Amino acid sequence: MEKEIIWIGNDHGGYALKLRIIEYLKDKGYHVNDVGCDSTEIVRYPYFAAKVAGAVSRGEAARGILICSTGIGMSIIANKYRRVRASLCATTYLAKMTRAHNDSNILCLGGKTTGEFEALDILETWLTTEYLGGRHDISVGLIADAEQAMFGDHAWEPSGPMR
């Protein structure tokens, strides 16, 4: 079975970690579409986040990875895109839970805050953990409902039981 194509984007703060992650992904048989910057020269992360999040939003990519210095900025901009569930993960447990419960489709990492070996463990967990569905479909569905409302220029007004 052929592995999926993983889109990866980064700014200057994520450049070094991106190189290691691309090597790791290729060793595992994944194809990589690198749309990030190619040096440590200062650039603006929203441009690179938009490439990956846009591809996921349009259905051109099933999953992506975004890396900036902390991962925070990348996760903020990526989650502005329809159908994107970007998750900043600093531990393998968070990677497991965001895949299992939230069906996360973009992994955000901090190139200056997460060590290389920890980042690779997080990545492996995120890539191999399956979405559980079931009761979690309710919450993921509510996220989709909120997106639908907010992309229509009005606030989401949740209704129904909160349990």
Active site residues per annotation:
68, 101
Strands 31-34 vs 63-68: parallel, antiparallel or unpaired: unpaired
Length of the chain: 163
Neighbours of 84 (CB within 10 A): 22
C-alpha radius of gyration, the chain, whole number: 16
* Assigned token pair, 121: 């463990």
User: Is residue 15 a contact partner of residue 36, using CB atoms and an 8 Å limit?
Assistant: yes
Degrees, nearest 5: CA angle 153-57-117: 125
